[in-house]
């Protein structure tokens, strides 16, 4: 009996000797990566990786966030990250990296390799926000807004719904962008992040469209708002239309869309959109006029604006609305149908049919 106990004890001891430690490091021995930037290097085959690191502190006040910015250029992203580790005295933790920015020059070349690296890293969250930095991510990430309560807070609130909600800002997540890069009939888009030097803050009011390889088109702020309304059903937006020498503004409360695509040699896309809202700004005695006439005029102007945007997107060779995916879903998605759509898409015709409803005039005191 004693012999068996001694043998069992020796066996357990030998098993414990072969077990390694978990490698856990305390919080004071870690640098939390809150934002990451990937730019094209000085050579065509290199990448410049920039990491914004949060320094833990017990004091949380606006303008008191402590951060450190590290940047290294290397042939691959993985080598850049490993090289940055040699510049800091703590372990890098990507578990809190919620913002990833790509430089504009990198987007023009293509982002297949960065996407593969981001998808393979198990510690990169797939719900991280993505954006295109202009002119590059290093220039954007080195900005330190005075409103930040903790590192990266200003960027998080600019993208997420926890802070500001602007109809000029488009939000994109890593998981959705990766899906669009591999999805047949649907292309990706990214918000454009710039530095506003005058106010020492970030400016996110434009959007960039990509095909499966690289950057194809950038919209201005007004077109970005129109894309937000039509493609993402953003109902906290406005429709501003010139009317009788002045400008009227309709604040939206509900947006619904529907798409019909004809099956012909040159497909025709009919885009139906219904927008409901209240008058937020109008000239004196404006609401005393014929409301039906006002709504009809707004519909005509909105139809023209949206059709111009759809043709501009089509001519750039991108499909962020997913018209191609809708076409394949409607007509069984056979390979010959996809080839027909690819050949016909540069010539498709758009028809926008809007229904704008002024539900109430707003408060008048």
Residues 325 and 346 in one domain: yes
Residues 229 and 197 in one domain: no
CATH number at residue 352: 3.30.300.210
Residues 44 and 140 in one domain: yes
Residues 48 and 95 in one domain: yes
Q: Could you tell me if residue 229 is inside a domain?
A: yes
Q: Could you tell me if residue 20 is inside a domain?
A: no
Along the 365 residues of the chain, how does pLDDT read in single tens digits?
565 666 665 666 666 555 454 556 677 778 889 999 999 999 888 999 999 998 766 666 655 567 889 999 999 999 999 999 999 888 888 988 999 999 999 999 888 899 999 988 888 989 999 999 999 999 999 888 877 777 777 888 888 777 788 899 999 999 999 999 989 999 999 999 998 877 778 899 999 999 988 899 999 999 999 999 999 999 889 998 887 778 888 999 999 999 999 988 899 999 999 999 988 887 766 655 677 888 888 999 999 999 999 999 999 999 999 999 999 988 877 778 889 999 999 999 999 999 999 886 655 54
Q: Which of 188, 219, 250 is the last residue of a domain?
A: 219
Please answer whether residues 241 and 299 qualify as being in contact, where contact means their C-beta atoms are separated by less than 8 angstroms. no
HSE, CB side, 13 Å, CA atoms: give it for residue 234: 21
Q: Could you tell me if residue 5 is inside a domain?
A: no
Residues 255 and 210 in one domain: no
Per-residue pLDDT reduced to its tens digit, 200-229: 788 999 999 999 888 999 999 999 999 999
Please answer whether residues 151 and 120 qualify as being in contact, where contact means their C-beta atoms are separated by less than 8 angstroms. no
Residues whose CB is less than 8 angstroms from the CB of residue 103 and which lie 6 or more positions away in sequence, other chains included: 37, 38, 39, 40, 48, 132, 133, 135, 136, 137, 138
Buried b (16+ CB within 10 A) or exposed e, 97-117: bbbbbbbbebbeebbeebbeb
Residues 183 and 237 in one domain: no
- Conformation bin of residue 167: beta by default, left when phi > 0, alpha when psi is -120 to 50: alpha
Peptide bond into 135 cis (omega under 30): yes
Residues 36 and 80 in one domain: yes
Number of domains in the chain: 2
**How far is it, in rounded angstroms, from Cα 213 to Cα 218?**
15
Q: What distances in angstroms separate CA 361 from CA 91, 246, 249, 278, 364, one per listed residue?
A: 58, 17, 11, 5, 8
Q: Could you tell me if residue 12 is inside a domain?
A: no
Domain with 364 in it: 222-365
Residues whose CB is less than 8 angstroms from the CB of residue 286 and which lie 6 or more positions away in sequence, other chains included: 243, 248, 279, 294
Residues 262 and 293 in one domain: yes
Q: Could you tell me if residue 21 is inside a domain?
A: no
Q: What is the pLDDT of residue 320?
A: 96
Residues 187 and 263 in one domain: no
Report the DSSP pairing between strands 129-133 and 99-103. parallel
| Beta-sheet strands, E only, within 82-172 | 91-93, 99-103, 129-133
**How far is it, in rounded angstroms, from Cα 285 to Cα 320?**
41
Record the pTM. 0.86
Q: Could you tell me if residue 18 is inside a domain?
A: no
Residues 244 and 317 in one domain: yes
**How far is it, in rounded angstroms, from Cα 225 to Cα 59?**
38
Q: Could you tell me if residue 153 is inside a domain?
A: yes
Measured N-to-C along each axis, helices 174-182 and 112-120 cross at an angle, to the nearest 10 degrees, of 130
Per-residue pLDDT reduced to its tens digit, 111-146: 889 999 998 888 898 999 999 999 999 999 988 887
DSSP string for residues in 185-244: T--EEEEEEEEETTTTEEEEEEEEEE-SSSEEEEE-HHHHHHHHHHHH---S-EEEEEET
Q: What distances in angstroms separate CA 27 from CA 8, 24, 83, 93, 235, one per listed residue?
A: 38, 9, 22, 10, 42
**How far is it, in rounded angstroms, from Cα 103 to Cα 124?**
19
- Consecutive H or E run containing 353: strand 349-360
Q: What percent of the chain has pLDDT over 70?
A: 85
Tell the residue number behind the tokens 């619904």, with chain if given: 256
Q: What is the pLDDT of residue 58?
A: 63
List residues bridging with 52 in a β-sheet: 35, 69
Q: Sort 173 into a burial class: Cβ within 10 Å, 0-12 / 13-18 / 19+.
A: middle
Q: What distances in angstroms separate CA 84 from CA 39, 50, 101, 172, 173, one per listed residue?
A: 15, 9, 18, 27, 25
Residues 36 and 147 in one domain: yes
Q: Which of 219, 238, 269 is the last residue of a domain?
A: 219
Q: Could you tell me if residue 297 is inside a domain?
A: yes
Q: Which of 182, 198, 219 is the last residue of a domain?
A: 219
**How far is it, in rounded angstroms, from Cα 206 to Cα 270?**
26
**How far is it, in rounded angstroms, from Cα 267 to Cα 3?**
85
Residues 78 and 161 in one domain: yes
Q: What is the pLDDT of residue 6?
A: 61
């Amino acid at each position: 009996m004693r012999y068996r106990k001694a043998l069992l004890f020796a066996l357990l001891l030998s098993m414990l000797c072969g077990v390694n430690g978990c490698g856990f490091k305390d919080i004071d021995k870690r640098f939390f990566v809150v934002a990451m930037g990937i730019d094209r290097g000085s050579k065509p085959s290199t990448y410049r990786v920039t990491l914004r690191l949060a320094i833990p502190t017990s004091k949380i006040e606006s303008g008191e966030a402590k951060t450190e910015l590290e940047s290294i250029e290397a042939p691959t992203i993985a080598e850049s990250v490993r090289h940055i580790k040699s510049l800091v005295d703590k372990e890098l933790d990507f578990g809190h990296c919620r913002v990833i920015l790509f430089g504009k020059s990198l987007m023009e070349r293509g982002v297949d390799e960065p996407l593969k690296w981001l998808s393979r890293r198990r510690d990169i969250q797939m719900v991280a926000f993505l954006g295109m930095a202009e002119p590059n991510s290093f220039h954007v990430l080195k900005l330190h807004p005075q409103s930040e309560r903790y590192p990266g807070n200003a960027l998080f609130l600019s993208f997420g719904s926890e802070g500001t909600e602007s109809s000029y800002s488009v939000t994109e997540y890593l998981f959705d962008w990766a899906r669009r890069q591999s999805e047949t009939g649907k292309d990706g888009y990214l918000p454009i992040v710039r530095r506003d030097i005058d106010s020492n803050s970030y400016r996110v009011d434009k959007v960039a469209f990509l095909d499966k390889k690289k950057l194809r088109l950038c919209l201005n702020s007004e077109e970005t708002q129109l894309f937000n309304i039509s493609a993402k059903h953003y109902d906290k937006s406005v429709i501003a239309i010139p009317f009788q020498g002045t400008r009227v503004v309709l604040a939206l409360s509900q947006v619904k869309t529907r798409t019909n695509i004809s099956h012909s040699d040159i497909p025709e896309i009919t885009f139906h959109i219904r927008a409901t809202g209240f008058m937020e700004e109008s000239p004196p005695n404006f609401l005393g006029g014929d409301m039906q006439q006002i709504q009809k005029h707004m519909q005509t102007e909105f139809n023209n604006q949206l059709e111009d945007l759809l043709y501009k997107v089509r001519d750039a060779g991108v499909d962020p609305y997913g018209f191609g995916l809708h076409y394949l879903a409607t007509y069984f998605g056979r390979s010959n149908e996809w080839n027909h759509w690819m050949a016909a898409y540069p010539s498709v015709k758009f028809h926008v049919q809007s229904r704008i409803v002024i539900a109430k005039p707003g408060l008048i005191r």
